């Protein structure tokens, strides 16, 4: 029995504590902005950091994690007890191509067999075991049949098992002992699923330790250290010392302005700092005449961003291998140009747009006779062996028309004065140059050496060969050459006459995948734990080449204007002189700044409904948004 004296003492203690924190002076709580105050960005980041710190890896055979050599992996992911398109699946898909399967805890034999048959084509299986209860259970209600399936899969396939449940229930899961890698998250929350997926691909690391023993399988204190930071980390702006309120409010405002004034129907923006993706958002509609919203997985025509995303990385790699010389001319690699006015013009001048080449040639105009009909060996209405190249459903190109393009480039006159003049002529030739040097197909070379190892699965030419048209944003309603809406094929007239494959234009991508290649540049040639290009070559290609001639270009890359900057310049006023990137005619922009470790991706289709729509240029939306990134940085 407690005495009155002790009750009084305890009561006095509580009252004193309440007085100490000010509760003796009643003040009603101001509920204005209470949701924002309780769910601040700093609180959210703390929550994510605590979840990340808790991630525990209990097995990692052959150092499987983080995954390497994505080009060698065919990955399937099985979510057990999770919702379709859950956060774990979404985040896995940011890193590579993943085929997803979902089964319940008590899936029947037919459902299990269907998944089992689907796994035959894959050499890596990622298994996520979810918890559908509000609170983590100590037991596991997965049926014996599903457990047997998971165990067999873990034995027969290289597998990663991510367990989003209470650790005690792991004791009864035989698959946990046979999986190649085992991740324990302790709970099934959005952050847990997100960060576990990032751990698998090296976006984050792990150094968590098991706080309890799990039967005889795992002991208290078990936990392996796993390297992180080799690929993008998807996180909050404050994690990269950027203000989320500034980013969200100002970027949203500028995008809304651009869409309201019909500069663009929609678009995608990705912002990363220090290899941390802190802003990744889709806006608006795919076109003005449709109600289809832009999604993050949609592909856009990159236009001239192709220049720094196709032949340029190939040439940098070949330079490292001493197979390509910046002081050599086109004729060194394409003998067809030996007796031309372009013979001997060094690639350093060509890539810096200081080679006296014409800005462009309207190749398609020479196809027409005076009466408006097509000349022979140009375009036919129907396909045939001699006209196999599809331009549109009713336009089929002569099989050797590429020779005509080369002929026009060869015969084109040089400008009188050697000064900066942006020219795309040589970029039509570069795929052939790469093929001549490597003796490999140009697209195959890029896929094998860059796009597949990066996990850039949407970075591609002729996207209709791989993706449904619904995933591709339309570009222009063409009324002067193709006379049809352009959707799923390259917008550039010259590139479409090259079967859609040119280094002048032709690549499509979503923001996330083109960002991987750009981050490789920003990392001085490294991404995903693999070196693609030497640091020295990246430095050479991204510096000013002829500043004494008032030429702001690097080798292939654009750079900030020389001299005093203004708000209507080609890049943000705050962008450093070491920054570089490129813009595209369709309304795209990619830009990297080594000084601030900033990466900016802007994709849109400003040529909707026609190229006459120049409002995006007048508003200067791209560079205004880029300036917001610098304004958001805090130290």
In the structure, what pLDDT confidence band is assigned to residue 568 with cuts at 50, 70 and 90?
confident
pLDDT of residue 18: 83
Distance of alpha carbon 586 from alpha carbon 481, whole angstroms: 17
Q: Where are the domains of the chain?
A: 45-231, 297-591+605-612
pLDDT of residue 217: 87
In the structure, what pLDDT confidence band is assigned to residue 2 with cuts at 50, 70 and 90?
confident
Read off the pLDDT of residues 74-91 as tens digits, 9 standing for 90 and up: 999 999 999 888 999 999
pLDDT of residue 35: 67
The CA-atom distances, in angstroms, between 334 and each of 27, 352, 391, 434, 437 are 82, 20, 27, 10, 10
In the structure, what pLDDT confidence band is assigned to residue 34 with cuts at 50, 70 and 90?
low
Question: What's the pTM?
Answer: 0.93
In the structure, what pLDDT confidence band is assigned to residue 216 with cuts at 50, 70 and 90?
confident
CATH architecture of 45-231: 3-Layer(aba) Sandwich (3.40)
Distance of alpha carbon 272 from alpha carbon 240, whole angstroms: 8
**429 φ/ψ angles, rounded to the nearest 5 degrees:** -90, -20
**48 φ/ψ angles, rounded to the nearest 5 degrees:** -65, -40
pLDDT more than 90, % of the chain: 87
In the structure, what pLDDT confidence band is assigned to residue 240 with cuts at 50, 70 and 90?
very high
Read off the pLDDT of residues 395-407 as tens digits, 9 standing for 90 and up: 999 999 999 999 9
pLDDT of residue 26: 72
pLDDT of residue 38: 67
Contact in structure between 266 and 474 (CB atoms under 8 Å): no
**396 φ/ψ angles, rounded to the nearest 5 degrees:** -125, 125
What lies within 8 Å, CB to CB, of 297 at 6+ separation is 458, 471, 510
pLDDT at 444 over 80: yes
Read off the pLDDT of residues 382-431 as tens digits, 9 standing for 90 and up: 999 999 999 999 999 999 999 999 999 999 999 999 999 999 999 999 99
What's the CATH code, domain 297-591+605-612? Answer: 3.40.710.10
In the structure, what pLDDT confidence band is assigned to residue 5 with cuts at 50, 70 and 90?
confident
In the structure, what pLDDT confidence band is assigned to residue 319 with cuts at 50, 70 and 90?
very high
CB burial class (10 A; 0-12, 13-18, 19+) of residue 255?
Answer: buried
Q: What is the mean pLDDT of the chain?
A: 95
Read off the pLDDT of residues 128-142 as tens digits, 9 standing for 90 and up: 999 877 666 666 789
Read off the pLDDT of residues 584-616 as tens digits, 9 standing for 90 and up: 999 999 999 999 999 999 999 999 999 999 999
């Amino acid at each position: 029995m407690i005495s009155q004296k002790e009750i009084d003492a305890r009561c006095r203690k509580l009252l004193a504590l309440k007085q100490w924190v000010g509760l003796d002076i009643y003040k009603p709580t101001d509920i204005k902005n209470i949701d924002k105050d309780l769910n601040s960005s700093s609180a959210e980041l703390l929550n994510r950091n605590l979840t990340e710190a808790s991630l525990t890896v209990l097995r990692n055979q052959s150092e499987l994690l983080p995954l390497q050599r994505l080009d060698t992996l065919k990955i399937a992911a099985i979510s057990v007890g999770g919702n379709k398109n859950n956060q774990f699946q979404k985040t896995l898909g940011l890193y590579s191509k993943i085929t997803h399967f979902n089964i319940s805890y008590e899936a029947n034999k037919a459902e299990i067999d269907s998944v089992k048959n689907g796994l035959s084509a894959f050499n890596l299986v990622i298994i996520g075991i979810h918890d559908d209860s509000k609170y983590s259970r100590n037991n596991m209600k997965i049926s014996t049949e599903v457990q047997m399936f998971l165990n067999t899969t873990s034995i027969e396939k290289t597998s990663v098992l991510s367990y989003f449940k209470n650790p005690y229930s792991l004791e009864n899961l035989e698959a946990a002992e046979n999986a190649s890698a085992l991740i324990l998250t302790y709970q099934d929350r959005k952050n847990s699923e997100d960060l576990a997926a990032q751990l698998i691909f090296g976006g984050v690391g792990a150094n968590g330790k098991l706080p309890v023993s799990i039967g005889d399988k795992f002991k208290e204190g078990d936990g392996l250290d796993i390297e992180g930071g080799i690929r993008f980390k998807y996180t909050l702006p404050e994690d990269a010392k950027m203000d989320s309120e500034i980013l969200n409010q100002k970027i949203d405002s500028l995008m809304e302005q651009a869409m309201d004034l019909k500069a663009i129907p929609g678009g995608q923006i990705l912002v990363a700092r220090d290899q941390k993706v802190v802003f990744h958002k889709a806006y608006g509609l795919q076109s003005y005449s449709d109600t289809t919203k832009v999604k993050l997985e949609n592909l856009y025509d990159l236009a001239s961003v192709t220049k720094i995303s196709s032949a340029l990385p190939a040439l940098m790699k070949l330079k490292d291998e001493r197979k390509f010389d910046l002081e050599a001319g086109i004729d060194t690699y394409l003998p067809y140009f030996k007796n031309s006015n372009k013979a001997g013009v060094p690639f350093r001048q060509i890539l810096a747009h200081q080679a006296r080449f014409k800005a462009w040639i309207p190749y398609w105009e020479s196809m027409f006779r005076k009466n408006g009909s097509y000349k022979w060996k140009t375009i036919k209405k129907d396909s045939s062996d001699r006209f196999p190249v599809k331009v549109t459903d009713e336009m089929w190109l002569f099989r050797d028309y590429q020779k005509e393009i080369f002929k026009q480039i060869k015969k084109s006159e040089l400008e009188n004065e050697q000064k900066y003049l942006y020219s795309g002529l040589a970029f039509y030739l570069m795929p052939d140059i790469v093929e001549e040097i490597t003796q490999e197909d140009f697209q195959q070379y890029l896929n094998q050496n860059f796009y597949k190892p990066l996990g850039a699965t949407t970075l591609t030419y002729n996207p209709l060969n791989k993706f449904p048209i619904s995933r591709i944003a339309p570009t222009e309603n063409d009324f002067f050459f193709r006379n049809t809406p352009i959707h799923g094929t390259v917008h550039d007239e010259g590139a479409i006459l090259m079967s859609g494959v040119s280094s002048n234009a032709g690549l499509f991508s979503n923001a996330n995948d083109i960002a991987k290649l750009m981050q490789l540049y920003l990392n001085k040639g490294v991404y995903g734990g693999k070196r693609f290009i030497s640091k020295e070559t990246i430095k050479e290609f991204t510096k000013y080449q002829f500043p004494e001639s008032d030429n702001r270009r690097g080798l292939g890359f654009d750079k900030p204007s020389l001299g005093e900057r203004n708000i209507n310049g080609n890049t943000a006023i705050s962008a450093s002189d070491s920054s570089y990137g490129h813009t595209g005619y369709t309304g795209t922009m990619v830009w990297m700044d080594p000084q601030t470790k900033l990466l900016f991706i802007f994709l849109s289709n400003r040529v909707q409904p026609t190229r006459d729509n120049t409002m995006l240029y007048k508003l200067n939306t791209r560079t205004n948004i880029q300036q917001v990134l610098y304004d958001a940085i805090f130290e």
